[in-house]
Each structure stands twice: as structure tokens, then as C-alpha cells.
Structure 1
């Protein structure tokens, strides 16, 4: 066994460790930024998806968030309790649950516009650096790099 082999197994050299640690730290960075909006990080992701396109089915929303519908459902229910979204049965298919934004949910978007800038400032990165990092993670996230 060579020292190169030993280096391969060092914790600090593991991609998985770097990504898990980074993910935990990213959520910690977002927490105080999202707190004034009354959102947790997972709820923020739901709102981002709905600000892009609403109404949409729970299944569609869950797919975009890389979640199972059973995991997305409690997030949506909590946002509904907060008055930010409404859940309704589809008139076309009663098995489908449609999620739409309320007026309060739409209004929250304006308050959230500064979140990305605050995050970039917190980590000392500009938009280009963040985009490069995000696109570099795309193969691990199972997604194609974002179009710029």
C-alpha cells in the first residue's frame, strides 16, 4: 500500500464528506436569512418552485424538489397553515392535489428577492462563483447544469 492509497482514504480528501459538511453549513447560513421571512430552508425551496410556476400538482412540485410526495406534503401543509399556499383537489382528477400561492405567498416573493445576495455576502462569493459551484455539483444532484 502506497502513501497515495492512504491519501485516498483520508477523511479530508473525501468528496462525500465535503458535500455533507457543505450541505449542513449551507442550511445554517440560510437559517438567519430566512427567519425574518418565517421560512425554513425546505419551505423556502417549496416557495421558490411555486414562484416559478403555480398552480401545480403536489407530485410535480415534489419531482422538481427531488422529494417524494409524502415528504413534500407536510411542507405544503405547514405553508398552508401560514397562509402562503392553498391546496385544492383538481377538478380534472380528484386524486390530484393542486398547490397554488395565496396573495400573501405572492407578496413574500418581493421580500425574498434579497436572500440570494445575502447568502453570497455571507460566504464571500459573487454570482459567477456561485453559478460555477452549482453547475459543478449538477452531476451529483442528478441534474444538468443550469442555463445561464
Structure 2
């Protein structure tokens, strides 16, 4: 048998990344419940708060989501009155997504969430930044494959 050590759970990078993603996402739940949005909806809103009016495919690229996953998210956000979807006049095949006034109000409430997460986990901003830098470096390498 080849090196069975390589198959031990403790030697896998995927497992701690999976667990930390699941646990941190779970920490967001009570804060997002107060805003009546899910974590994936929060991600979409963050993209739009940063770049209002993006085409649907650009949102999908930023979030690594395909249109089959993204379209229902956008429909739910639109039903809540947080976004508006409009076809581009120059090319009606392109749907752009805009933040509504209600979505802008939500942004003000959501501004407190990152600091609440930092506080809840008890990790310094420097440690978060270091972790983020390392993960982004790996993600960038995966994107270039």
C-alpha cells in the first residue's frame, strides 16, 4: 500500500478549510437572520454594494456561481425588494442588477457584521488578514490552472 499517512484526515488541507468555512458561515447566521437574508444572498449584496449595476454573469464570476445557482438567488432578492434586474438597452441579452433603496438601507445595517464576526471569533484583524492573504494566494493559483 502506498503512503497511507497521506490519507489521514489530519493531513488533508481540504478538511480544515471545509470546517472553518462551515463554522464561520454559521457565525453569520444570527446576524443575517436579523436582516432576513441568507449567507449566499449576503454575498450577492456585498458584490453589488461594491459595484452596483453589474451584469449577472459578472456577479457569478466574482462569487464562483453558475447562472443556475445565481438566478434563484437574484429572484429571491428581487422579491424582497433589495435589488432590481433590468435588461441592458444596448443588448437585451444582458441583465444588469441594481441595488434598490431598500437594498441601500440594508447596507447600513450590514456594516456592523464584519466587526461582530471578528469579535465573536476573537482573532485579531492581523490574523484575519494573514489568513485571507494565504487563501487568496491559493485561490489565485487555482484560478490560473
- The reply to whether TM is greater than 0.5 is yes
The residue that corresponds to 2:84 in the other structure is 86
Indicate which of 51, 54, 57 corresponds to 1:56: 54
Q: Aligned partners of 1:40, 1:81: CA distance in 2, in Å?
A: 14
Aligned pairs for 1:1-148 (under 5 A) are: 5-142=3-140
Shift of 1:110: 0.7
**Closer, same or farther: CA 119–71 of 1 in aligned 2, 3 Å:** same
> How many residue pairs get matched?
142
Q: CA deviation at 1:46?
A: 0.3
- In structure 2, how many angstroms separate the alpha carbons of the residues matched to 1:22 and 1:12? 14
Structure 2 residue runs without a partner (length 5+): none
Over residues 42-76 of structure 1, what are the superposed CA-to-partner deviations in whole Å (9 max), with x where a residue is unaligned?
00000000000111100111111111122111111
* Counterparts of 1:124 and 1:17, CA distance in 2: 22
Call closer, same or farther: CA 1:122–1:143 in 2, change over 3 Å. farther
Q: Which consecutive residues of structure 1, in runs of 5 or more, have no partner in the other structure?
A: none
Q: Normalised by the size of structure 1, how large is the TM-score?
A: 0.88
CA distance in 1, matches of 2:57, 2:102: 23
Partners of 1:91 and 1:115 in 2: CA distance: 36
Q: What SS does the aligned partner of 2:16 have?
A: helix
Root-mean-square deviation (Å): 1.9
Equivalent-residue separation in structure 2 for 1:142 and 1:30 (angstroms): 25
